[in-house]
Amino acid sequence: MSEQQSNRHLAWLWLTAVVIIVDQLTKYWAEHVLGATGVVKILPVFDLSLAHNTGSAFGMFGGLGGIQHVFFVTLAVVVSIVLVIFMRRLGAHERHLAVGYSLIIGGALGNAIDRLVYQYVVDFIHWFYQDWHYPHFNIADSAIFIGAGLLIFEAFGKPFLNLRSE
């Protein structure tokens, strides 16, 4: 594989940058607008409301006294480096994997920035029904979810995006 081929998929890191920028802008909005006004009701089952997550997914490990921040920031950086290495090794026909990796890297680094700056992750997207509430999440979490979904589709031989080159 030529150097040009191995770096072709690194061009998808623009998507990583977009995820980080949109994530940080929406979190800034959530902190400064939702933090002041409370809740913005969108639908009877959906609102935007500020939540600070000191743990991991669904708030797990939130009460560990701060050591979880070091762990999760380190994990985000290590995973991001590994995924960039994987991206360099992808074949020309594996663009959909580059997209998935880019989304995961963007989400991981977006949440890592929060942990470094605030010592928590800013969440604000909230789905619920009556007394049932899905944990708050954010754009970074959504990017990780979508990226992981692309990798799962690939694992089953069904690329979600028609990005294969002929």
Catalytic positions are 123, 141
Nearest to 50 by CA among 131, 132, 114, 146: 114
Residue 136 CA to chain centroid, in angstroms? 13
Contact 52, 118 (CB under 8 A): yes
Placement of tokens 């995973």 in the chain: 79
Report the chain's C-alpha Rg in angstroms: 17
Q: Locate 72 and state its tokens.
A: 């999760």
Give ∠ CA 123-25-64 in degrees, rounded to 5.
35
